[in-house]
Chains A and B, each alone.
Chain A
C-alpha cells in the first residue's frame, strides 16, 4: 500500500537454503546413474528426496532450523548415510570462504537442473525436473542469488560462517566424526580473518572486555580486513550473550506447559536466525489459527504472543500476524486487545493480504475489502456478548458488501446475522436490519424476528449455493435444521392466498437438512487447496521424524517399510480439511440435540458417541466438552448420580482449563438435581444461584442459561413447598420466554406450573396448564416432554378421586410405551407409582386377586428411586408397598418396606433439618 517497501513475497537466500541446495545437489548429482553414489537403494534415495521436499514445505515454525537441528534430522533419515551426508554438508559449507566460492556453488547448482526437454534425457540419469517442487526451489534460490548485490553476498557469507560456527560450538556433545576435518577448513577461514575466533567465542564473560581490546588491537594491524569480517566477531558475541538473556526472559514469561514448538529457542538470539519463506510462514500462521480455535482458552496466550511479537519485529510487513494476535486475544477474552488488533490488521491489509501466490486482485482492489473487517468485528462483538453492537456492525457490513458487490462476503454476513438472531433473544419486531436490506423490506417490516430469521437463512443459503461456497452451504443446512427444530413455520404473507400449513414443526425437514449438511464430506475434495495439504503433510512428516520411534529403524531393509507406513500414517489426518470435519461433526452433535428434543434417549446417545469417537480430534475442545456433557447427563438420568459424578471427574481432568464454563455448568446441574432429590434444598438454592451468575447480564444474551437458572429456581421453591413464590417465578419465566419466543422452554415452564398446582393441591388450576403444555409439545413434536405432561395430567386427574381413576389410567397407558422406552429413572418411577395408584384407587380392582399388578411396578419404582436417592418418592413407593403387603398379609415384606420407608423419611428429615436453620429466600 502506502509503504515504501519492497513487494512482499520476495525470496531471500539464507544459510539454511544454501545447505538445502547442497543436499539437493547430493540428491541429484549431475551425470550419475539411477541411484547416485552413497545411496544403496531406490527406497533410500526416495526417502531422502521426500525429506528434502518436507524441508522446503513444512510449516512447523517461523524460523529456519539451525545447522545442528538439520544434522540431527539427517541422522534420523539415513542412519548409515548420516556420516557421509553431514561430512559432505559441513565440509562444503565451511569451504565457503570467499564470495567467489558462493558464486561457484550456485553456478554448479545450475547443472543439476534438467533442460526443458525431458524426453531427450537418458532414463537412467537422475535429473531434477525444473518444474518439480525441488526444481522450483533450486530455481528460486538461483534467482534470488543472482539478484543479490555484493553487500548481500558478503552478508550471506558472514551468516553462513555464523551458521556453521554455532553448530560446531554447540556440538561438542554430538561428537562429530568430521570435526578434525572441518576444523581445518575453519582454520582457513579464521586465518583469513586474522584473529582467533574460537578464543573469543568461548571467552568467559568477565574476560570479554580484554578480549574486545585484543580484537580491536589486532584489527588495527590489518586494516585491510573487510568490515563484514570484523562484524563477524561482534556478531558472535551478540548472539552468545543475548542467548542466555533471552532464554531467561522466556522462561519467566511462559510458565505454561503448552509451548507451541520450542518457544525457548525462538527467543535465543535474533541475529543469525532467519525467517522461513513467506509461504511457510503463512502456513504456520494458518496452522496456529486452527490450533487456537481448536483449543480455545487452553492455548497458551503468552508463549504464542511472544512468538508473534518476535515475528512482527522480524517481518513488520507480514500483517497477518496482527490477525493472529486478534484471534489469540479473542479466545482469551481480552476485549481491548482483540479490538485493537482487529482494527490494526484491517488498517494495514485492507482485507486483501493473502498468500503470495493468490492473486490479490479478486474483487475490487482499489476500495480494499473492508466489508470483511466489518464482518469480523461483528462476529467479535457477538463473541463477547454485545448483540446490539454486533447487529449494527453486521448491518453496516451488509450495506458495504452490496455497495462493493462482494457477494461472498454478503452470504457470510447474512449467515452471521442469522446465527446471531438465532442465538440471542430479541423482543422487538422491527428495525433489526433497518431499511438497509432489501429482501426484508420487500416483504414488509411487520415480520416477527423468527420470520426475518427465516428469510435471512433462505437468502444466505441461496447466495451460498449460487456462489458454490460448499462449507457455507453445509453450515446453512445446519442452521436451517436448528431453525426447523424449534420453530413452527408460518406463512410469511399476512394476506393473499394461504397454502394450507400444518402448524407443527417438521422433523423430516430437520432430518433432511442434517443429511444434506453431511454431504459436504464428499464434496470438499474439489476445493481443497494444495497449500494446506502440502504444508500440513510436510509438517507432520517432519514431526514424526522427530519422535523417538524414528530412531527405531535400524536396518536398511526396514527403511522402505517404515517409509510407507509413515507416509500413510501422516497423510491420513490431513486428507480431510479440518473445517470440513468440524462441520460434519457438528451435524452429528446437532442430530444428538434433535433427538434429545424429540425424546429419543438411545439415538441421542448413539449420535453423541459417534461425535466423540470420530470427530473429537478435528473439532474444537468446547464442542467436545459439549458432547461429554451430553453423555454425562445421559448417565445421570439413566444410571444415577454416582456414575455420573465419576464420569464428570474424568471429564474435568480432560478439559482441565478448557471451556471451563461448560463443565462447570454440568457440575452445577448435577449437583442441583441431586440435592433436589435428596431434599437438601439449601444447597440446591445455592447451586442454582451460582448457575444464574454464570449468565451475562446483558439482555438477550445467554438466554438458555437464564431460563435454566430460573426454571431450577422455581423447582427448588416447589420442592420447599413455597408454592406461591414458585408460581411467581414460573410466571415471570413464562413471560420472558414468551417475549423472546422460546417455545420449547415455554412447554416445560407450563408443565412446571401444572406441577406446582398439582403439588399445592389445586388440581383444577393445574389441568389447563398441563393441557397447554401438551399442545405445545404436540406442536413442536417434543415426544418425551409430551409423555411426561400426559403423566402429570393423569396425576392431576387422579387427585380428583377414584371416579377419575379410569381416565388417569388411560392417560398413563398412552404415555407408558414412550416412557419405558426413552424415559429416565425418575420419569419411569413416577409412571409406575401413578399406575399403581390408579389401580389402587380403582374400585373395580381388587388387590388380593392380582397383587403383582400393583407390587411389581412399585418395586421397580422403588429400585430406580433408590438409585437416584430420591428420598421423597422412594418413601412414597415403600409406603405403598407396605400398605399393600399389609393388606395381603405378607408381613415380612411389609416389615422390610416399612423399614426402608423409615430410612428414607429419616434421611429426608435429616436433610431438611439442616435447611430449617434459615428458610429459603423466596426470590433472589
Chain B
C-alpha cells in the first residue's frame, strides 16, 4: 500500500473517530485534507476530477520547481497504529448524550453520561462540561461587564475538570482524546508547561486530531520551545511545523514546508490558503490574489481567511472585486468577524471612513481579540484625523499581540502626525525591531530623525542605509541618502548614492525628477573633479529632458568643450561665441 493510500485510510478512520467524539472542527479539517490528497491518475473517478479540476491549473502555474516527490521520498515516517475503539458499539446512553451534545445541550449530555466509565464516555462527559462552562463564561462576560471593562468571568468547570482529569492521569486511564482535553484545561488554567507535555503526549499517540496540534501551537511561542518538544515523525507533524513557523513569523520556512506538503495534499484548500497567507506576509500580492481566486472558485462559500484576500484587493485597489467579495461573504454569513472586516475594507477603499469604522467595530464586538481589525480601525481613525482614537486602537492591537509590527508602526505614524517625532521614535524602534527587513519602517524612522525638530541627520543616514539594504521597493532611500550626504557636504558619498540610484532607475526604467536631479549633480560633480568624459555623458543625457535643466546642461557642455580646447578657460569667457 502506498503512503498516499495509507494517509487516506488513516484519515478516513480518524474522521469517524473524531466525529464519534464530537470533535467536529478537527474532523472537518481531516476531511478537507482527505479530499485534498492527490488522486492516482490511474483510478480517479469523474466525481473526484470534478472537484479537483480547478486546483490542478493552479498547481501547474505555481509549481515551478515541480516537486514530484510525494511524502514517500526520503523521509521515513513513524507509522502510528490506528487506535482501536474500546467500545465497538456505543451504549445507548452514549447515543443519547451525543444527540444532546449535537443539539448543544451540553450539561444534559454530561448528565446522561454520569455513571459511564468507558473512556469514550468519560471524554464526552468532560468535553461537554468544558463546553458548557465556556458557553456560560461567554454569557457572563456580557452580563457581568463592570463599569471599567471586563470583570472576572471564568470557566467555572475548569477546577473540577482538572481535578478529575489529573486523577485519571495518575491512574493511567487516559486515551489521547482525554489527554487533549486535559491539555486544554491546563492551558486555560495557566499551567502551560504541563499542558505542553500533555499535548505532546496526545499528538504522539493520536496525531490526527488537528485541534490538539493547534493547542500545542498556541503554546509554542518561541522557536526554542518549538525545538525543545519531542514529537514523533508523523506526517501530521509537517502540517504542525508549517503552521507554527508561520506563527513565529518564519515565513520562508513555512512556505517551503507547505510546498512540500502540497506534493501529497495537492488539492487541499487549507494548504492553498496557508500558502497564500505566507506569501501575503512576504508581500507577494500577485500570487496571493491568484491563489485566492482559485480557492473561491473551488469553495465559493468559504469565509475564513477571506479578510486577507480583501486586504490584497484593497492594496491593489480593485474596487469591484472587493465589493463582489464583500457581497458574497455578506450573504454567506454576515455575523462573522471576517465578513465585517471585508466590508470595512471596502468602505475604507471607497473613502467612507466613518462607515468603515462601524463595520470594524462590529467585527471587534464579535471577536474582541481580532488583531487586524484593531489595526485597520486605527488606520481608519488616522484617515479621519482622529489621532487619539487611532492611538487607542493601535495600542489595543499591540497589547493583544506585542509582535504586531504594523500596529507599532501605526502608533509611530500617529505620533509623527502630531509633530512628536521624538516620541514617535520609540514606536518605530519597536516595529523595526520586529520586522528588520522592511524598508518602509526604516524610512519612516529616518524621516522622523530628519524632521526639523530633531534634525539628527547622522541617525537618519544610518536608517536610510538600512532601508536601502533591504530592497527598498519605492526607491526613496537611495535618493534621500544622496541628498543628505550632499547637504552635509560629503560629495563623494553623495555621488556614490546618486550613481547607485541612477543605475537602479535605469534598471527599472523609471523616469522622473529624481533622475534629473541625479544627473545634474553627477554632471557638476564630475566636472568639478575634472572627469570631463563622465560629465559630458551625464550632460548629454540631460539634454533629453525639457525645462531649465536642459539649458544648464547645454551651458555646462559648452563650458567644458571650451575648457578642453587649447585655449585657457579664462580667455573664452571674454569671447562668447
Where the two chains meet, the residues of A that have a C-beta atom closer than 8 Å to any C-beta of B are 1-6, 8-12, 149, 151-152, 155, 205, 208-209, 212-213, 216-217, 219-220, 227, 231, 234-235, 237-238, 241-242, 270-271, 275, 278, 313-318, 339, 343-344, 347-348, 350, 352, 366-368, 370, 373-374, 377, 389, 392-393, 395-396, 399-400, 403, 434, 436
Contacts and interface: CB of A to CB of B under 8 A. Distances in A.
A5 B149 contact: yes
A436 B111 CA distance: 74
A4 B365 contact: yes
A436 B392 contact: no
Contact of A400 (B144, B364, B418): B418
B145 A396 contact: no
Interface string B383-409: 000111111111110010000000000
B419 A2 contact: no
Contacts of A227: 136
B416 to A, nearest CB: 11
26 contacts: A1-B388, A1-B392, A2-B390, A155-B144, A209-B160, A209-B164, A209-B167, A212-B164, A231-B136, A237-B159, A241-B159, A242-B159, A315-B146, A316-B148, A343-B426, A344-B399, A350-B391, A367-B418, A373-B423, A374-B420, A389-B422, A393-B422, A396-B419, A396-B420, A396-B422, A399-B453
Contact of B395 (A317, A347, A370): A347
Give the interface centre of B164, B378, B420 by most chain A CB atoms within 10 Å.
Answer: B420
Interface of B: 110-111, 114, 136, 143-152, 154, 156-157, 159-160, 163-164, 167, 361, 364-365, 377-378, 381, 386-396, 399, 411, 415, 418-423, 426-427, 453-455
A799 B416 CA distance: 69
Contacts of A234: 156-157, 160
B114 A216 contact: yes
A793 B454 CA distance: 51
A400 B420 contact: yes
Contacts of A400: 418-420
Contacts of B388: 1, 350, 352, 366-368
What is the interface of chain B mostly: helix, strand, loop, or mixed? helix
Contacts of B145: 5-6
Contacts, number: 143
A10 B420 contact: no
Contacts of B167: 209
Contacts of A152: 143
A392 B454 CA distance: 8
B146 A275 contact: yes
Contacts of A399: 419, 453
Contacts of B110: 216
A587 B361 CA distance: 54
A348 B398 CA distance: 11
Given A212-B160, A370-B420, 20 more contacts: A2-B389, A155-B144, A208-B163, A219-B111, A231-B136, A238-B156, A238-B159, A278-B147, A318-B148, A344-B395, A348-B392, A368-B387, A370-B415, A370-B423, A389-B422, A396-B423, A396-B453, A400-B418, A400-B420, A434-B455
B395 A314 contact: no
A98 to B, nearest CB: 18
A290 to B, nearest CB: 22
A370 B424 CA distance: 12
Contacts of A313: 152
A205 B159 CA distance: 11
Contacts of B418: 367, 370, 400
Nearest to A3: B392
B143 A151 contact: yes
Nearest to B160: A212
A350 B392 contact: yes
B422 A392 contact: yes
B346 to A, nearest CB: 20
Contacts of A374: 420, 422-423
A344 B377 CA distance: 18
Nearest to A215: B160
B411 A347 contact: yes
Contacts of A370: 415, 418, 420, 423
Nearest to A311: B148
B143 A155 contact: yes
Contacts of B159: 237-238, 241-242
Give the interface centre of B146, B154, B365, B389 by most chain A CB atoms within 10 Å.
Answer: B146
A347 B374 CA distance: 14
Contacts of A8: 147-148
Nearest to A235: B156
Contacts of A436: 453
A271 B395 contact: no
A213 B114 contact: yes
Contact of A339 (B149, B154, B163, B426): B426
Nearest to B456: A392
Nearest to B424: A396
A217 B112 CA distance: 9
A420 B324 CA distance: 60
B534 to A, nearest CB: 40
B453 A395 contact: yes
Contacts of A235: 156
A212 B151 CA distance: 26
Contacts of B423: 370, 373-374, 377, 393, 396
A275 B148 contact: yes
A562 B145 CA distance: 43
B146 A12 contact: yes
B58 to A, nearest CB: 39
A399 B390 CA distance: 22
B147 A208 contact: no
B402 to A, nearest CB: 10
B108 to A, nearest CB: 8
Nearest to B414: A347
B395 A11 contact: no
A392 B449 CA distance: 12
A314 B157 contact: no
A339 B394 CA distance: 18
B426 A278 contact: no
A271 B453 contact: no
Nearest to B167: A209
A400 B159 CA distance: 53
A634 to B, nearest CB: 44
Contacts of A213: 114
Contacts of B419: 396, 399-400, 403
Contact of A12 (B147, B364, B399, B411): B147
Nearest to B112: A220
A227 B114 CA distance: 19
A237 B159 CA distance: 8
A399 B420 CA distance: 9
Nearest to B361: A4
A151 B393 CA distance: 31
Contacts of A237: 159-160
B149 A315 contact: yes
A347 B390 CA distance: 9
Contacts of B415: 370
| Shortest Cβ-Cβ A-B pairs, 7 listed | A315-B148, A10-B147, A317-B149, A347-B395, A1-B392, A234-B156, A368-B388
A213 B122 CA distance: 13
